[in-house]
Structures are given as structure tokens and as C-alpha cells.
Structure 1
Amino acid sequence: MRAIVYRTTGDPDVLELVERDTPEPGPGEVRVRVAVSGVNPTDWKTRSGATNPKIFPEVTPHLDGAGVIDAVGEGVDAGRIGQRVWLYMATLGRATGTAAEYTVVSADQAVPLPDGVSFDVGAALGVPALTAHRALTVAEDGPRRLRPGALEGKVVLAAGGAGAVGHAAIQLARWAGATVISTVSGPEKARLATAAGAHHVINYRQGDPAGEIRAIAPDGVDIIAEVALGANLELDLAVLRTGGVISTYANDGGKPVGLDVRQNMMLNTRFQFLVLYTVGEEALLAGAEDVAAAVADGAMPVGEEHGLPLIRFPLERTADAHRAVEGGAVGKVVVDVAP
């Protein structure tokens, strides 16, 4: 099979297209013929050596993807052969991800994908959707699981609604019944956040964004899914309701975070920092189940018209796909693995 590998960390040029033996699934595992592989910021950061020290001599990157199960290991229902699936966290504890024609994962990490849903949607789920799910289910008085109506009466602020996680947060929050506000940096990203389903979109670079948000939510925002805590903290605290939660999954821009302790005491602010690598199996399985339900309801489409443009590369240009993500491409970068 064809696969992308790297043996040393570094810039995208360390990625190499090679031929490797097709892997065999072990007990409790499935083998998937990958159609589309999704690329996330964590993939290039791991490849570069910036995070998650390299522990395997050779690595095939990418956590997310979609394809068809073509073999199962001992203990897995053989009826799953031929099933269309989306994959998440493929390289968690493994050296082989989805940037290959075949990959092997735990059976639980291969989630059924309805026949009417494209592999593009499947490859765009994984890290962004599970991160968004976690961000929306950690409020002290909020739901631990998502379903239609679970966030009824709640106001959710998705910072950076044109990004992959922000896009998923908008879609999941709206599916669960929340009033969804998104902050963006300009008109084009506003168009994408609106297409994703945000009820209200606010340019945080102009006017009085805090005043605009408070006009929509006079009692404050219940849940903030935050991509740039250092840059956005002042705005977040200006619009957060007492007892609300700021779920932060990134600190884009790298601005240091300083807290006014008394201000946050008076607000009873709840800060939830999150990353999927250490969130635990229970949270991952719950997130995958809820996301699958949203997908089945048609709530998580992708593409320009749905607020998440797709930026495509063939497998042999995976290095260029990494450069696109590292360069801040707006949309979802995917690698077409199958011909």
C-alpha cells in the first residue's frame, strides 16, 4: 500500500511517500481502506516536534479520516466488513494514522457513516467535532451529552466560527437547541459562520462587540468555546454570565493569559481547558456517539455553502496539505487517499 511517513520531526519536507505492507487487524480492531484523510493543526505540530514527542521510529500521520472497513480482527462482528466509517484519534498510541491507503484502529474508533453522507464529512469530523462536543458539555449546570433540545435556552458563543472547531461548535450547538453567537475577524469569515448556522455573527474588530453580544444575551453567555484565550479573555469576561464556562481548546496568537482573580471570583467563572489526547475514553466515546447522531440528522455538512470550504490535496502532496494548515488556511484541509 502507499503511505506517507516521517522518521524525524521537522518541516513538511520530512514527509515521504513510500510503499508499505498492508496492515492486519488484531483482536478488537478493524482495518479501513481510507478514502479521505483529514488534516488538523495537531498533526503538523506533532510532525514538527513542537508537541507530543516522537516515540515511534516511523510515523504515518493524521488522526482523522473516512473510508470502508475491509477486514476485522478477532472479537469484531464480521458484518462490519463493507461498512462506511469515519475515524478519530487514529494515531493515539499508534504509529500509523490515516495518511495511508489502509489503517488499523480500535473498532470503537471506526464510527458508522450513513450511506447518504460523504467521506468528506466523515474526514472533517474527528478532532474538530469531538473538541467542540467537549467544549459544549463541561458547564457546571449544562448537559453532559448532546441531543436535540439539550441546550435549549442556553446561549453559546463560538469564537472563531470560521475555523474547523468553531464550525463544529456552531453546528452542534444549533442542533442541540442553543442560541448561537459567533465572533469573527471580517466579512468573509462572517459569511462562513452564518452558513454554518450561527444565529448572530459579530466582528470583534469593530464597534462594541461586548455591547452587541449583551444586546442579544442580556443575562450573559452560558458557554464560550474559545480558540484564542489570551486575545479574547477581556471580551469573554465582559459577556459571560455568572457561573458560565469558558471552554478553551487553543490559544491562537499565543498571547499570555492574565487573570483578575477577584473579577473571576465574582463571576464564579468556570475555566475548562481541554485536549483530546488526555480527555479519556469515556468522553471520547460519548462524543463520538453524539456526533454520529448529529451527522445522522444531517446537522454537520461541510463545503463552502455550509461554512467550511474544503481544500484538497492528493496523497503524494501531503506535505503541501501540512503547509496549508500551518499557514492558517481557512477551511478544512483534506487529503484524497483513494484514486
Structure 2
Amino acid sequence: MKIVVLAGGLSQEREVSLVTGTAVCRALRKGGHRAVLVDLFLGLEDYDGPLEAVFDAPDGRCGDAAIKTTAPDLESVRRSRKDQGPSLIGKDVLNVCALADLVFVGLHGESGEDGRIQATLDLLGIPYTGSGHLSSAMAMDKVVTKRLMEAAGIRTPKWRLVEYGEAEVEALSEELPMPCVVKTPGGGSSIGVYMPETREELKAALRDLLHFDGQIIVEERIVGRDIFTGILGDRWLPSVEVISAKGKFDYEAKYQSGGALELCPANITGEQQEEIGEMALNLHRLLGLSVYSRADFVLDGAGVPWCLEINSLPGLTSASLMPKEAAAVGLTYEELCEEIVQLSLRRTCHHAANDCQGD
């Protein structure tokens, strides 16, 4: 099949997405597909051949993507595009997607996980991997997810939504309960997530979070073990326990070698795995997610799991958790990517008005 692997974009998770997209593209090409990596934001501005021929470009136009220890400089990315227009979609992106049999969405963060690119592809009648636009948008919004978890009885830490400005920082830093977690409602890859230990650290976190949108979630901090559980199709996968080298699973710990110890399957009881797996699957279904996702948990000192959030497009880099969970049930990386493709084609056919079959 001709497959566009859409990655990059203009979110704080741009570098993670490019590494995901590169790995996926090479895996799909290894499986016999005519896959090509396309940056959502930069597009094909450096390609001057026939558009149809791009699917046969050497190595699928994959480069040497890497994740640095800090989030990318998005203004520098903006300036690097020849077309300085306002669109978040680069040159010929939608045209090449229209030529593909499927778009593999390797995006993370804004424009990728928030449902906007899915809605665009839906309007153009272009099939793509993963969840639809509405469920993607709901899963990306932690406020919506929290409210649905509470309504459905899925155990989650106490939380509140706070809107504030610079004038309220001092008062909030003294009033908010400690220990707590403060985070932006729409972030990912642990960007915009703070676990302050002191009131001064809380004040600094509140000031940093003003760079997002003036809204934050303040969440009760559950001290315990970090557990992550993937959903693939209609089943949950063995959980991963992550033990950060510096005590918190932040952006650096997630993507830098030696940043964390990952145990898969997690060292938990069968009963705990069953409860965590079913909580993840219930939330996946509650939000109407499709194909795959990953839910994040904390297992407290009493062995009770608390669900924090769910990701509709979990990372598929070599350091990501989803491939490790798939490997625990005997799926190679290439097989995982192929299963995502086939499950997505099935979802597309199910929603189509006419009968169809995946190739």
C-alpha cells in the first residue's frame, strides 16, 4: 500500500513525533509498503519531483531524527519554512495524503492528538490510523477525560480546574494544597507537568504554566509506582512499570537513554494487572477511542491503581512503552505497526457507507 506517515508538525512534541514517524516509516517499508515520511508543518517544500513518485523516494525520505533533552524551539521551526504563511499544514501535505491508501498518523500533541488533523482527513475522505476526530479531541483534553472518568466511576485523583493570571500567582502558591501536581489541560510527553516539592517550586511552576493558556489542572499527588498500560484493538497489553533515575518520569526521563528503568511486564499481581487493564480498556471505550491507546496510572502504597489520563496516539519510538508491551505478547515492532494499519483499515471500512476490505 501507499502510506503517508505524517509526523513533525508544530507542537512541543515535534521531535518525539519525527522519531516515531521515522521508525514507523522504516518498519512499514520493511513490510513491503510504499511508505513515505511527511512533516505536517514543513511539507514537501524541498521535493520537486512528480508527487506520485514520492512514495518510492530512497528510504522513504526518512532522516536522522533525534530527541534532545529539552522541548524544541518552535519559533526556529517556523522561521525555517520557506512559505511563511499562517497554515499549520505545509506544502503538498494534503495532496500527497490524497494519493495514499492510508495516512499513518505519527503526530503527537497539538494538531495531531487534538482531533484537528483527523477532522481534516475525514472531510477529505482520506483514511488514517488511530481514533477519529471527536474521541481524539476528548482524550487530549484532560478536563473532559477527568469528568468522564468521575462519571463512570473510574478511580482518578481529586482535581480542580484553575484559571488565573500573573496577579493570582502569589495567592495561589500559598492556597493550593500540597503535595500536588499542576499541569496544562492539553499537554503531552510530560511537557507542562510539574510536581512541586515546596511552595517556591509551586510558584515557579504556576509562572511557567502561564506560557500555555492560563488554565491548569491541580491534581492531588498520589505517591506510588508509575504504571502504563496499552490498548491494542479490543485488548489490553501487559503493563510497564517505569522507575525514573531522578524520581520523576518527565520529558528527559522518557526519551533519553538511562533516564528511566522500564520493567515489562510490570512486577504487579495478576489481580492488579487485571484491574488496571480493565480500567484502561473501559476508559478507551468510554472516550470512543479506536485501534490503540495508552493509559497512565499510579499504584499507591496500598496497591490501589489510580488512572491519571489516556493518550490516543502513544509514542512509537524505540524508547516508547507501547512497543515494549507489544513485545511482551510476542509482537515485533514491524508486526505492531502492521496491526495498527490493519485495525485502522477495518475501522475505516466499518464507518464507510459501502462494503470494503483492507489490502
How high is the TM-score relative to the length of structure 1?
Answer: 0.26
Structure 1 or 2: more strand by fraction:
1
Using structure 2 for the length normalisation, give the TM-score.
0.25
From the two aligned structures, give the one with the greater helix fraction.
2
